[in-house]
């Protein structure tokens, strides 16, 4: 990542973070390939416990986990809550209502308030890119980024990778196509970083209005047509379209978007016959995906949700215990 982004200019001194601070999971960009694989392996091992089929080690017993969501989310918040509870943590959910005026104030103030309650882990989602990083600098506990603006959603990328690996048996050498509103997607960014680090061939497919500048340096290939972009793909990853925001600005209408970029059987036919279909949820059926595909045999969307719990258990366990490197090749 640093190599892609080049050197800083004639900047002043560096930001200089202290080295003894608690572990965080703020972005995939902070992880190397060994750490990613070690996390996936640990998540794999957590699957029985995440399903309630095996007794987990209560590695978070006596620990306090606070889920702090500045943006509403049922799926991710619930997934983190279950993951924490299965590991024995005391989990508290805080949904912070924010007005646009007081948003930032609330963030720094809330950080100070929460820090005084001495949590062990904070799971944070915020609508502004970099906000979770900022918050992590103001607290003394581990912080997990559960999505910050259009920046990153690292646990989503981990659970996606785990789902792919379970279906395909490997990651390296596969071709994964990510389709839709790339410009506004934190899921796309985290996935491009993670898959790129593991030598997966990544493609992005979107209309030009949804392709941010420089994306050709983050993805292996860039396409504006689904047929060409899906040709030979092993995995088709659809993104949620924020159609209320996009309509009129990035696309003229939902029906035109669906006609050219919605995943239906005709378009999916260009991918490999055994290609799997993924979606981070929540889905807009009939906007970015045909209901028949979403609920069809090639969809692994519910399995993604399931893997989410295992991945989040693995991440929580790592942050609290911190022995990820031992016993792995990291």
**55 interacts with another protein by CB under 8 A:** no
List the Cα angle 1/25/201 in 5-degree steps: 40
Which residue from 33, 90, 92, 134 is in contact with another protein, where contact means CB under 8 A?
Answer: 134
Q: Which is nearer to another protein, 8 or 55 (CB)?
A: 8
If DSSP codes are grouped into helix, strand and coil, which group holds residue 217? Answer: helix
**What is the smallest separation between the CB atom of 182 and another protein, expressed in angstroms?**
9
Find the farthest-apart pair of alpha carbons in the chain and give their distance in angstroms, rounded: 56
Among 6-14, 50-58, 298-306, 320-328, the segment contacting another protein (CB under 8 A): 6-14
Residue 69 tokens, joined = 């969501």
**208 interacts with another protein by CB under 8 A:** no
**What is the smallest separation between the CB atom of 216 and another protein, expressed in angstroms?**
9
**7 interacts with another protein by CB under 8 A:** yes
> Which residues, in sequence order, are bridge partners of residue 289?
263, 285
Name the DSSP letter for residue 15: -
Q: How many residues bind another protein (CB under 8 A)?
A: 40
Residue 271 tokens, joined = 């991918």
Torsion of CA 40, 38, 204, 72, to 10 degrees: 60
**What is the smallest separation between the CB atom of 105 and another protein, expressed in angstroms?**
8
Instruction: Examine residue 282 and say whether the peptide bond preceding it is cis (omega within 30 degrees of 0).
Output: yes
Q: Is residue 217 a contact partner of residue 259, using CB atoms and an 8 Å limit?
A: no
**218 interacts with another protein by CB under 8 A:** yes
**201 interacts with another protein by CB under 8 A:** no
* 3-state SS record for 5-59: HCCCCCCCCCCCCCCCCCCCECCHHHCCHHHHHHHHHHHHHHHHHHCCCCCCCCC
**What is the smallest separation between the CB atom of 186 and another protein, expressed in angstroms?**
6
Residue 324 tokens, joined = 């990820």
**267 interacts with another protein by CB under 8 A:** no
Among 5-13, 89-97, 236-244, 267-275, the segment contacting another protein (CB under 8 A): 5-13
What residues line the site for another protein (CB under 8 A)?
1, 4-15, 29, 103-105, 107-108, 126, 128-131, 133-134, 148-152, 183, 186, 189, 212-215, 217-218
């Amino acid at each position: 990542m640093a190599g892609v982004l080049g050197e800083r200019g004639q900047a002043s001194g560096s930001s200089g973070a202290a080295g003894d601070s608690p572990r965080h999971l703020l972005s995939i960009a902070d992880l190397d390939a060994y750490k990613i694989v070690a996390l996936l392996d640990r998540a794999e091992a957590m699957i029985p416990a995440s399903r309630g089929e095996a007794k987990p080690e209560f590695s978070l017993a006596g620990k306090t986990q606070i889920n702090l969501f500045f943006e509403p989310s049922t799926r991710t918040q619930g997934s983190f809550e279950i993951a924490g509870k299965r590991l024995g943590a005391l989990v508290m959910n805080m949904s912070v209502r924010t007005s646009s005026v007081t948003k930032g104030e609330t963030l720094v103030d809330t950080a100070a308030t929460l820090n005084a309650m001495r949590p062990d882990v904070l799971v944070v989602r915020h609508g502004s890119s970099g906000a979770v990083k900022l918050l992590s600098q103001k607290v003394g506990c581990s912080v997990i980024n559960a999505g910050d603006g259009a920046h990153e959603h690292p646990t989503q990328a981990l659970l996606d990778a785990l789902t792919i690996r379970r279906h395909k048996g490997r990651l390296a050498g596969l071709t994964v196509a990510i389709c839709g509103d790339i410009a506004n997607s934190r899921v796309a960014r985290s996935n491009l970083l993670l898959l790129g680090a593991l030598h997966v061939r990544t493609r992005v497919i979107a209309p030009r209005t949804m392709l941010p500048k420089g994306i050709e340096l983050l993805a292996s290939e860039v396409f504006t047509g689904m047929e060409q972009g899906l040709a030979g793909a092993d995995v088709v990853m659809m993104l949620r379209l924020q159609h209320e925001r996009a309509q009129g600005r990035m696309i003229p209408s939902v029906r035109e978007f669906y006609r050219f970029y919605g995943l239906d059987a005709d378009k999916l036919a260009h991918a490999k016959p055994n290609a799997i279909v993924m979606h981070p949820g929540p889905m807009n059926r009939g906007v970015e995906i045909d209901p028949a595909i979403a609920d069809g045999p090639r969809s692994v969307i519910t399995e993604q949700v399931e893997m989410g719990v295992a991945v989040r258990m693995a991440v929580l366990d790592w942050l609290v215990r911190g022995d990820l490197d031992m016993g792995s090749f990291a």
